[in-house]
Amino acid sequence: MGARPRLDDVAARVGVSTASVSLVLRGEPGPSAETRRRVLEAAAELGYRADRAASLLARRRRHLLGVLLDVRNPFHAELVDAIHAEADRIGYEVVLSTLATGRDEERAVASLLDFRCEAMLLLGPDLPSARLAELAAQVAVVAVGRRDDAVDSVRSADDAGVAAALDHLIGLGHSDIAFVDGGRGAVAAARRRGYRAAVRRAGLTARVVPGDHTEQGGIRAGRALLAAADRPTAVVASNDRCAVGLQDALVRAGLDVPGDVSIVGYDDSTLARLVHVDLTSVDQDARAQARHAVAAAVERLDGGRTRRREVVLTPRLVVRGSTGPAAAR
């Protein structure tokens, strides 16, 4: 028996993108009438059928929500806790698949497919849009923390969150405010864009320091700032883990936070709330994100919704002890 046809097989037969094929098979607007006809004919000829459609037609419901998360990310842990509570309330079970050292997103997604989850809630995914479209043709997919036209999404307005951090620091007299980048992922890119836009509106000079969404990335950024001749008076980090690493590097070097340098994180995770960290951070409202993400998945599974949904929540800044007035120069 040959391998079961995949979404990219249909796309190759027609000569269009997998995203276009996914839109046709989900009945969403975009492709022309001619493209729709050719895609449907190719799908029929190849015998392509999405797993989710087949299971629903056969009425073999599993009521499983698969969740992809980074096991090292404390904010993801909070999201999962809230997702579990919401899923329990409506009679769904949750299957977890984690990112870890040596285990990437494709492998984590494959595990959820193996469990035959009816929907996937992907926390901060970095998969290409075409791959998300392919998954969405098989199961309901919700991207949490990232906007993508291929799937439903639930996220906070990262530009507004970073702008709130900048406004707070500017109000404290800071004018030299650096940003520790979160790396190449989609979430990091959104926050980087938010920082650049906010400093531009304020008439300040952007200063982006390489980093990533780990404590080690923050430590490296801290060492780079310590070696610079013109150290900033304030720094916004792309997430809390990075901010905590940055804080560690500066304090170990003998600097006072916030006396010498103010630091703002992003996520308002459990790390930020520790008394010895006391990090000013942007709260994304994990419980609201979890509630909307579960609702988006279930509306497709139980309510028959086909159009893409995007939920954008307004984040809020939680001020703690890591920020203070700008140090005199």
CATH of the domain at 193: 3.40.50.2300
- Secondary element (H or E) of residue 135: helix 129-136
Instruction: Examine the pLDDT at 2 and tell me if it is beyond 70.
Output: no
Q: Is 323 part of any domain?
A: no
Number of Cα atoms under 13 Å in the Cβ half of residue 145: 27
Domain total for the chain? 3
Q: Which two tokens stand for residue 87?
A: 């899923």
Say if residue 280 is in the same domain as residue 291: no
Q: Is 247 part of any domain?
A: yes
Beta strands (DSSP E) in the chain are 64-70, 93-99, 119-123, 140-144, 152-156, 177-180, 208-209, 234-237, 262-267, 280-283, 310-313, 316-318
Say if residue 144 is in the same domain as residue 168: no
Contact 246, 236 (CB under 8 A): no
Q: Per-residue pLDDT tens for 263-322?
A: 999 999 999 999 999 999 999 999 999 999 999 999 999 888 889 999 999 999 999 999
Contact 74, 80 (CB under 8 A): no
What is the pLDDT at residue 54?
44
Mean confidence (pLDDT) of the chain: 91
Strand 280-283 versus strand 316-318 pairing type? antiparallel
Say if residue 173 is in the same domain as residue 249: yes
With a threshold of 0.75, does the pTM exceed it? Answer: yes
Say if residue 118 is in the same domain as residue 215: no
CA 272, chain centre distance (Å): 19
Q: Which two tokens stand for residue 243?
A: 């901010």
